[in-house]
Amino acid sequence: MRVNWILGIDAPVLDSATVEGMKDVAPIWSGTSRMQPGVADNLVCHDLIRGELMLRKRYDMIYNLYVTHRLQNLGIDSQASYYQGQFDGAITAIEDIICLHLVASISDLVILVGFDLETQAAAPESEAKRNRLGMIRQLMTNDQDLQWILVQDASGLDPAFGDLPNVSCDALENVLHYFSQL
């Protein structure tokens, strides 16, 4: 089974024991906006300035680095991977969406930590937040064989995700315990 973790923009700071437990299960993906040094195996950077800096400082020698194709012609010798694509509308946490796209194509199970997919009934959502939730839901419905585990309390899950048969919620400790028993 091909499993991957994605740390979203709202992921908590993780202690080293938790990180090691996660890495024993599967590779960890993260956007650079949420980067915690030494945690992710795979980093996604969509920001042009930060991406160029990471290429020049050879972050690709430490992480599997994924940057936008717009940085490909800088003439920097790099082992980074370049992804294509653009976003037409406003969207929050864009690197989370890119991680989801990249990981969905190589996984049977994706475990999401730090993705705020809770009902926002108390406050009106921004267009960028609605766009983000819509893109995540679309990804989750595109391939019903791909399973998703959201590390969050199911009682607060947005109804748009609660009805998806390939989506479940659980606590991080439970997920780690399950995989340690395999």
Q: Which tens digits make up the pLDDT trace of 27-49?
A: 999 999 888 888 999 999 999 99
Find all residues with CB under 8 Å of 63, minimum gap 6, and list them.
40, 41, 42, 43
Domain that holds residue 7: 3-180
Q: Domain containing 28 — which CATH number?
A: 3.40.50
Residue among 14, 6, 15 nearest 44 (CA): 6
Virtual CA dihedral for 93, 97, 103, 108, nearest 10 degrees?
110
Instruction: Name the phi and psi angles at 99, rounded to 5.
Output: -55, -45
How many H helices and E strands in the chain? Answer: 6, 8
Residue 90's pLDDT band, with cuts at 50, 70 and 90, is confident
Domain count, the chain: 1
* DSSP reduced 3-state for 132: helix
**pLDDT at 119 (0 to 100):** 66
Residue 82 confidence class, pLDDT cut points 50, 70, 90:
very high
